[in-house]
Amino acid sequence: MTGHAHALETSTGLDSRKLAIWTFIGSECMFFATLISNYLVQKGKSLVGPFAHEPWTDPATGQVMEPIIEIPLVTVGTALLLFSSLFIVLALYGAQKGNRKMLVGWLGATLFCGIFFVGMQVYEFTHFAHKGLTLSRNMFGASFYVLTGFHGTHVTIGVIWLLTMFVLALRGKLTPAKAVNLEIAALYWHFVDVVWIVIFPVVYLIR
């Protein structure tokens, strides 16, 4: 994705690559819609616990399994992901204005939030597995891990993408003329955040 010396003439006046990422994002809406509708349709179909919000007693052993969802941790992650959207917008502003300090600083902050979010998810997954929730345990486990796992994968890809942009920015390659490249990366990043805005209440809050 190299830059241009002069602008392309397109039928709409819009950058083809920006149109392409929006098109891809539109397609990804259907991807996550299918995953989310799977989660909603499978809700309540678990034959055994542990469950999301209620405790469950194993009728065979009498063992009590605590509810899985822990609000405080995921809320911190959610807030950080939201702030990362703010930070990347500021980074883009810096890129467009040629302010390298602003660009690098805020892009670094974005990365920090993104990496923290992925870390939180990894911790959450291992913690939930400890509490007895696995992919094969019940429908909640299967739906939860697949939905949030694929979202997490998208975040990870975003982190790798932003890391690449960060290295380019450090080396002074992200000039105002090339800022559209960061804009495209940012659109992907915002989309990943927007999907989480839907997943957070649907998975963690709705009972």
Partner 1 sequence: MSAHVPAEDHAHPTPGTYAKIGLVLFVLTALEVGLYEVTFGASAGEFGRQIQPFFIPLLLLLSAVKFALVAMFYMHLKNDSKLFSGVFVFPLIIAAIIIVALILLQAYHWAFARSG
Partner 2 sequence: MATTALDQQRVHAAHAEKTGLWSWITTVDHKRIGILYGATAFFFFLLGGLEALIIRIQLARPDNNFIDPDTYNQLFTMHGTTMIFLAIMPLSSMFFNYLIPLMIGARDVAFPRLNAFSYWVFLLGGLFLNASFLFGAAPDSGWYGYANLTSRQFSPGPNVDFWNMGLQVLGVASLAAAVNFFVTIINLRAPGMTMMRMPMFVWMSFITQVLLLLAFPVIAVALILLMFDRFFGTHFFVPTGGGDPLLWQHFFWIFGHPEVYILILPAFGIVSEVLPVFSRKPLFGYAAMVFSGVFIAFLGFGVWSHHMFTTGMGPIADTFFSLSTMLIAIPTGVKIFNWMGTMWFGSLQFRTPMYFAVGFIAMFIIGGLSGVMHSSPPADLQQNDTYFIVAHFHYVLFGGSIFALTAGAYYWWPKMFGRMLDEGLGKLHFWLMLIGFNLTFFPMHMVGLNGMPRRTYTYPAELGFATLNQIETAGSFILGLAFLVFLWNVFQTSRKPRGAVADPWNGATLEWAIPSPPPEWNFDRLPVVEGRDPLWEEKRKHGARLPEPVVGTGAGIHLPNPSYWPLVTAVGVTAVFIGIMMSPKWGAWGIVAGVALLFFGLYSWLFEKGYSEFRTPSHGGH
174 vs 115, 136, 161, 192, CA distance in Å? 22, 46, 14, 23
Q: Which two tokens stand for residue 92?
A: 């883009």
Q: Residue 89 touches which of partner 1, partner 2, none (CB < 5 to 8 A by kind)?
A: partner 1
Among residues 61 and 136, whose Cβ is nearest to partner 2? 136
Please check whether residue 191 is in contact with residue 151, taking contact to mean a CB–CB distance below 8 angstroms.
no
List, as one string, the DSSP characters of 35-61. Answer: HHHHHHHHTT--SS---SSS-EE-TTT
For residue 202, the surrounding DSSP H or E stretch is: none
| Of residues 45-104, those binding partner 1 (CB under 8 A) | 53, 71, 75, 78-79, 82-83, 85-86, 88-90, 93, 96
- Alpha carbons 89 and 135: distance in angstroms, whole number: 36
Q: Is 85 in the site for partner 2 (CB under 8 A)?
A: no
Instruction: From the list partner 2, partner 1, none, pick the one residue 82 interacts with, judged by a Cβ distance below 5 to 8 Å according to partner type.
Output: partner 1
Question: Is residue 111 a contact residue for partner 2 (CB under 8 A)?
Answer: no
194 is an interface residue for partner 2 by CB under 8 A: no
Torsion angle (degrees, nearest 10) of CA 40, 45, 46, 47: 180
9 binds partner 2 (CB under 8 A): yes
Tell me the per-residue interface mask from 47 to 76 with partner 2, x by CB under 8 A, - otherwise: x-----------------------------
173 binds partner 1 (CB under 8 A): no
Cα 47 versus chain centre, distance: 30
DSSP string for 109-154: HHHHHHHHHHHHHHHHHHHHHHTT--TTT-HHHHHHHHHHHHHHHH
Choose among 29, 3, 30: nearest CA to 15. Answer: 3
Give me the sign of the Cα torsion angle 127, 129, 132, 133.
Answer: positive
Contact range with partner 2 by CB under 8 A, out of 18-26, 73-81, 95-103, 104-112: 18-26
In contact, 29 and 164? CB cutoff 8 Å: no
> In the set 1, 2, 5, 7, which binds partner 1 (CB under 8 A)?
7
Residues forming contacts to partner 2 in the complex (CB under 8 A) are 1-4, 8-12, 14, 16, 19-20, 23-24, 26-28, 30-31, 34-35, 38, 41-42, 45-47, 135-136, 138-139, 141-143, 146, 150, 164
Residues forming contacts to partner 1 in the complex (CB under 8 A) are 7-15, 18-19, 22-23, 25-27, 29-30, 32-34, 36-37, 40-41, 53, 71, 75, 78-79, 82-83, 85-86, 88-90, 93, 96, 186-187, 190-191, 193-194, 197-198, 200-201, 205-207
